[in-house]
Amino acid sequence: MRTKTALPGKAPRIAPLVAAAVLALSACTAVSGGGTPDPSAAPAPSASDGSDATADERGSGAGDEATESTGPLAGTTVVIDPGHNGGNADASEEISELVEAGHGRKACDTVGAETADGYSEHAFNWDVSKRLRDSLEDEGAEVVLTREDNEGVGPCITERAAIGNEAGADAAISVHADGGPSSGRGFHIIRPGELDGYTDDIAEPSRRLALDVRSAFEEGTGQQRADYIAEDGLDARTDLGGLNLSDVPKVFLEAGNMSNSADAADLADPEWRQKAAESVAEGIGRFLREGEEKEG
């Protein structure tokens, strides 16, 4: 059983990338016909994806003076992990490197999915993650992002998980959009299954986090639960290093299927992405408030 330890002082709001530019591993999938999507396969993004290459300065921690947070989530720390990265497509050798994922060795990352119109998953992940950060900070939470922009490579799953662990996060979420069969619609939440020596201490709180995020996301966006993968919008997996290596409650959001035209229209809509971010923030907030009530 591993114990979460919070860092002294105020956690940085955007975690620095390591100089070696280690890389990320995602649950996101590419179209694989009508079968179960393959997490390791995804198309390269188009250059016309409209990605935001410059980090929003809010929450960067650069030059900020330590101030006491106020709001219902004051005193909590949330780690947001925007899946993939904009430079991954040009770093095939790096992202194909095998890393220890808690269940064996696996490719370090994938490029991610994209819509038929070329809107890339990494751009979606980055945009929603920044909006989610802002919503959580408005509620008083300390927020840490695992990458600082959308033009780099990585970081790897080992570093992404370590950022949450070192921050002593009360909750962590990895933001993604799926790339399943074009006939499939909907969102799902991935939580860690029980893996002895890895997730046995976080499986139950992660399950509660998944339930809270699922409910809030469904209510806030009107998005249906996935009809092509998972069960009732929930999936427990033990093959994802980002979950297996976490010492803190963590889930993956697959916000919709980029290969489906109806889902893609939502994912590419900035207003929908704002609703998605606010809904996820509400779900995380419910989880954190419920934890405080139990401790009290």
Does 5 score more than 70 pLDDT?
Answer: no
Of the chain, the percentage scoring pLDDT greater than 90 comes to: 67
Task: Name the residue with higher pLDDT: 55 or 275.
Answer: 275
Write down the catalytic residue from 94, 114, 166, 254.
254
Q: Which residue has the higher pLDDT, 247 or 294?
A: 247
Percent of the chain with pLDDT over 70: 76
The pLDDT, as a whole number, for residue 25 is 38
What's the CA gap between 33 and 31, in Å, rounded?
A: 6
Rounded to whole angstroms, the Cα distance separating 25 from 83 reads 8
- Residue range 119-124: mean pLDDT, rounded: 98
Whether residue 55 lies inside any domain: the answer is no
Distance, CA of 30 to CA of 208 (rounded, Å): 28
pLDDT above 50 for 6: no
User: How far is CA 214 from each of CA 171, 203, 254, 266, rounded to the nearest angstrom?
Assistant: 15, 16, 10, 17
Given a cut of 70, is residue 105 above it in pLDDT? yes
Least confident window among 13-27, 121-135, 171-185: 13-27
Give the chain's mean pLDDT.
Answer: 82
pLDDT at 52: 46
Using one digit for the tens of pLDDT, what is the confidence trace for 237-246?
Answer: 999 999 999 9
pTM metric for this prediction: 0.80
Q: How far apart are CA 25 and CA 88, in angstroms?
A: 11
Residue 121 falls in the annotated catalytic set: no
Domain containing residue 99: CATH number: 3.40.630.40
Residue 51 lies in a domain: no
pLDDT in tens, 13-67: 444 433 333 333 344 544 333 333 333 333 333 333 444 444 454 444 333 444 5
Kindly state the tokens that stand for 89.
């497509």
Euclidean distance between CA atoms 157 and 193, whole angstroms: 17
Does 68 or 35 have the greater pLDDT score? 68
Q: Which of 185, 83, 180 is nearest to 125 (CA)?
A: 83
Rounded to an integer, the average pLDDT of 272-290 is: 98
Over residues 255-273, mean pLDDT: 98
Q: Is residue 8 part of a domain?
A: no
> What is the mean predicted confidence (pLDDT) over 213-239?
98
Q: Could you list the residue range(s) of the whole structural domain that residue 102 is in? A: 77-295
pLDDT at 69: 76
The reported pLDDT for the residue numbered 104 is 85
How many Cβ atoms from other residues are within 10 Å of residue 155's Cβ? 26
Number of neighbours of residue 222 by Cβ within 10 angstroms: 11
Position 112 in a domain: yes
Is 269 within a domain? yes
All residues at 6 or more sequence positions from 291 whose CB lies less than 8 Å from its CB, including other chains: 170, 205
DSSP letters of the chain?
-----PPSSPPPSBPPPPTT---------B-BTBS--BTT--PPPPTTS----S--STT--TTPPP----STTTT-EEEEEE-S-TTGGG-HHHHT-EEE-SSSEEES-----B-TT--BHHHHHHHHHHHHHHHHHHTT-EEEES-S-SSS----HHHHHHHHHHTT-SEEEEEEEE---TT---BEEEEEPP-TTTTTTTHHHHHHHHHHHHHHHHHHH-PPBPSSSSBTTEEEESS-HHHHT-SS-EEEEEEEETTSHHHHHHHT-HHHHHHHHHHHHHHHHHHHHHHHHHH-
Dihedral in degrees, nearest 10, Cα atoms 126, 131, 134, 27: -50
- Determine the average pLDDT of the residues in 167-171: 98
Residue 129 domain flag: yes
The answer to the question of residue 20 being in a domain is no
The tokens of 218 are what?
Answer: 């469904």
Residue carrying structure tokens 């933001």: 175
Q: How many domains does the chain have?
A: 1
Average the pLDDT over 127-139 and give the result: 98
Residue 189 lies in a domain: yes
* Closest C-alpha among 43, 71, 63 to residue 138: 71
Is residue 118 over pLDDT 90?
A: yes
Average pLDDT over residues 202-231: 98
